[in-house]
Amino acid sequence: MYQKVLFSAIFALFISVNSFGQQTINGSMMYGGIQRTYILYVPANYVGTEAVPLLFNFHGYTSNASQQMWYGDFRPIADTAGFILVHPEGTVDNTGATHFNVGWGTSSVNDIGFTSALIDSLSVNYNLDQERIYSTGMSNGGFMSFHLACELSDRIAAVGSVTGSMTLGSFPTCNATHPTPVLQIHGTADGTVTYTGTAFSEPVISVVDFWADFNNCGVSPTIENVPNTSTTDGTTVEKFTYSNGDNCSEVIHYKITNGSHTWAGALFPSAGTNYDISASVEIWNFVSKYDINGKIDCATNSIDDEDGFQPELSIYPNPASSQFSIDGLNQESSFELVSVLGERVLTGKVSLASNMIAVSELKKGVYFLKIEGSVFELVVD
């Protein structure tokens, strides 16, 4: 259920210039009589004096932790946002495929228990914010994230899914115990986890509606057309936002028209991959607004802002060749611009009066902008 990516020479190139080596740890633990493995990424700015969030990044069916670490890459974002990232390795089901057991009937492995035990194990060695544990993943990893939202609700604050869904018939048995913010990214031309549902999965819209209803969000979503900044990838994106849920929870769906079974914004391009958004950036910016109790600034919004509206930042143009601007600022703010390899290439301050950042001296490529707690992907061309 995972569209395999050919890494070959590109993968070797990234390995040769990789700046993550000393913070990347191959770990293992025994659970349920099985030796389970995972790849942990600890950003260089982690010092252990403050509790930091933890993000699970689950791979797809037939894939593995290493492929997901590169394909659905969150490491540059972790370097700027300061969270710890873990990529669990699945086990082999009775068809011989690596997987996470989400109830398809091909396995009896307890991946819910393994995930909880892994949180406990990591908490011994790292100062984790137990109220800010999130899950995301590709395909089967997206299913796993929804499975955790239902069956490990006391530990998972929010989830994101890329090309995943929920197991067919799982709605009535979902045991979520708190409003759970959800972000779903899915292509209409996905031939593996079909947008309209399969013999093993619920239709994508049904999943979105289920969580919007569970969270008591408004019935009618706000619909926006995401700017088509990549005009050659053959895809476009609509953003559906269901808001005003309990504890300020939201459900957001990025519907990628003509998008295939791929990770939006992936560094390893293939047909049907959208480049108007970065799935990794959108997921982190979404889940990081929440803890296990709901939106982190929910109480502040309800007191200070009668409409509960806070202006969102945006950057334009993107791609940029000489400079770009930041909209939505209400005060002078510090920023950092980080390369895809985690190198800080530019820092400074911007304000309402001077909200432009020059990038003409930078090499062409992908960068990550960190400002006011948010991370944006910027393409310099």
Q: Is beta strand 158-162 parallel, antiparallel or unpaired with respect to 128-138?
A: parallel
pLDDT confidence band for 311 (50 / 70 / 90): low
Closest Cα partner for 156 from 165, 146, 166? 146
CATH number of domain containing 170 = 3.40.50.1820
Is residue 268 located within the same domain as residue 346? no
**Lookup result for tokens 């040769």:** 16
* 16 CB-contact burial (10 Å; exposed 0-12 / middle 13-18 / buried 19+): exposed
Q: Which of 269, 304, 339 is the last residue of a domain?
A: 304
Is residue 189 located within the same domain as residue 293? yes
In a domain, 309, yes or no: no
pLDDT for 20 equals 37
Is residue 198 located within the same domain as residue 86? yes
pLDDT for 141 equals 98
Q: Which of 304, 334, 357 is the last residue of a domain?
A: 304
pLDDT for 120 equals 98
Q: What is the pLDDT of residues 145-157, one digit of tens each?
A: 999 999 999 999 9
Residue 290 pairs with which residues in a beta bridge?
Answer: 295
- Boundaries of domain holding 266: 8-304
pLDDT for 162 equals 98
Q: How far apart are the first and last CA of the chain?
A: 34
pLDDT for 16 equals 33
Is residue 190 located within the same domain as residue 321? no
Token pair for 150: 């239902």
Q: What is the pLDDT of residues 285-294, one digit of tens each?
A: 999 999 999 9
Is residue 154 located within the same domain as residue 220? yes
Conformational region of residue 131, where left means phi above 0, alpha means psi within -120 to 50, and beta covers everything else: alpha
pLDDT for 300 equals 59
Alpha helices in the chain (DSSP H): 8-17, 65-71, 75-81, 111-125, 140-151, 204-214, 279-287, 298-304
| Average pLDDT of every residue of the chain | 89
pLDDT for 4 equals 41
Residue 375 pLDDT greater than 60, yes or no: yes
Is residue 145 located within the same domain as residue 277? yes
Instruction: Please answer whether residues 189 and 213 qualify as being in contact, where contact means their C-beta atoms are separated by less than 8 angstroms.
Output: no
Q: Which of 239, 274, 304 is the last residue of a domain?
A: 304
Closest Cα partner for 201 from 103, 120, 119? 103
Q: What is the pLDDT of residues 82-96, one digit of tens each?
A: 999 999 999 999 999
pLDDT for 312 equals 72
Token pair for 16: 């040769």
Is residue 367 located within the same domain as residue 254? no
In a domain, 161, yes or no: yes
In a domain, 1, yes or no: no
Q: What is the pLDDT of residues 210-245, one digit of tens each?
A: 999 999 999 999 999 999 999 999 999 999 999 999
Window from 3-7, 259-263, 340-344 with minimum mean pLDDT: 3-7
- Rounded distance, CA 340 to CA 377, Å? 10
In a domain, 3, yes or no: no
Is residue 298 located within the same domain as residue 367? no
Is residue 245 located within the same domain as residue 340? no
In a domain, 173, yes or no: yes
Q: What is the pLDDT of residues 14-36, one digit of tens each?
A: 333 344 334 899 999 999 999 99
Residue 6 pLDDT greater than 70, yes or no: no
Number of domains in the chain: 2
Task: Please report the sign of the dihedral spanned by the C-alpha atoms of residue 92, residue 94, residue 96, residue 102.
Answer: negative
Is residue 92 located within the same domain as residue 213? yes
pTM to 2 decimals?
0.81
Mean pLDDT computed over 166-185: 98
Residue 13 pLDDT greater than 50, yes or no: no
In a domain, 76, yes or no: yes
Is residue 45 located within the same domain as residue 64? yes
Coil/strand/helix, residue 342: coil
Is residue 242 located within the same domain as residue 101? yes
**Residues in contact with 74: Cβ distance below 8 Å, sequence separation at least 6, in sequence order:** 41, 55, 57, 85, 280, 283, 284
In a domain, 2, yes or no: no
In a domain, 138, yes or no: yes
pLDDT for 301 equals 53
CATH number of domain containing 363 = 2.60.40.10
Residue 134 pLDDT greater than 60, yes or no: yes
Residue 143 pLDDT greater than 70, yes or no: yes
